[in-house]
Amino acid sequence: APMIGKFRVGGMTCAACVHSVEGILRKLKGVSRAVVALATELGEVEFDPKQINQKNIIEAIEDAGFDAELVE
Ligand code: 9UX
């Protein structure tokens, strides 16, 4: 069953950053949905835990030059 991960994404300064992060997340194998909000810096990602985990998602965001941490 899919899981929802909530992340705080730092370093986004314009709407294009948001689209960039969403695009990166949606391309990851196992991710079925990704939305990121600039104002709150919160991202919500639906993923298949058999294919990808929260750490992989954080690393993908960081590889793109942004900060990311899990929100409990
Ligand atoms: Mo906007 Mo973001 O000009 O990496 S795309 S700041």
pLDDT beyond 90 at 46: yes
Query: For every residue of 4-45, which 3-state class applies, written as one string?
Result: EEEEEEECCCCHHHHHHHHHHHHHCCCEEEEEECCCCCEEEE
Which DSSP state fits 70?
A: E
What CATH number is attached to the domain comprising 23? Answer: 3.30.70.100
Atom 4 of ligand 1, nearest CA residue: 17
How many whole angstroms separate alpha carbon 49 and alpha carbon 47? 6
Which DSSP state fits 65?
A: T
Question: Which band of pLDDT confidence, cut at 50, 70 and 90, is reported for residue 15?
Answer: very high
Cα 60 to middle of ligand 1, angstroms: 17
Mean of per-residue pLDDT scores for the chain: 97
pLDDT beyond 90 at 72: no
For residue 14 and ligand 1, the question of a CB distance below 6 A is answered with: yes
Which value does ipTM take for this structure? 0.87
Domain of 27 in residue numbering reads as: 3-70
The number of distinct structural domains making up the chain is 1
